[in-house]
Amino acid sequence: MAEKLTHFDDKGAAHMVDVGDKPVTSRIAVAESHIRMLPETFNIIQQGRAKKGDVLGVARLAGIMAAKRTPDLIPLCHPLPVTKVAVELTPDPDLPGYRIEATVKTTGQTGVEMEALTAASVAALTVYDMAKAVDKGMEIGGTRVVLKDGGKSGRYKAP
């Protein structure tokens, strides 16, 4: 039998999951995404020639800020004491574009997968925003959790 969705009560109404009885544990989540662009756009960003400024630095900061604001964006997320957020944007000339990895840590009663996914997504969206003047056809994709650890469900690592 499949497990039931936790964000719905017995009547099918959406609700915030009560995590009050769960133990406080160290938790981590890593999410990834990527943004694909024209080779010319990739070169502009790599060479620091974007008119709006430091694309990668701003995207990194936006991802960090987004992780901390996740409960404001996703209706049923718990506000968590995030203890670490790291966002890395790695150039990939084969895309061409950037691979984004967001790592979020907390010590709490629920996981930080949504925070990591939000950080990776907003970092990609920020790259798009800062480079759209030269490339409106950029494509964001591959957003997923690649690692989650801590809590009752234990460790998950994407294949």
Asked if residues 13 and 82 have their Cβ atoms less than 8 Å apart, the reply is no
- Tally helices (H) and strands (E) across the chain: 4, 5
The angle at the Cα of 20, spanning 18 to 25, to the nearest 5 degrees, equals: 115
What residues have CB less than 8 Å from 72, skipping those under 6 apart? Answer: none
Judge whether 21 counts as a catalytic residue.
no
Q: Strand locations in the chain, DSSP E?
A: 25-36, 82-92, 97-108, 139-149, 156-157
Among 92, 129, 135, 149, which one carries the catalytic annotation?
A: 129
The Cα angle at residue 43 between residues 37 and 49, in degrees rounded to 5:
115
The partner residues of 108 in beta bridges, in order of sequence, read: 25
Query: Which residues are annotated as catalytic?
Result: 129
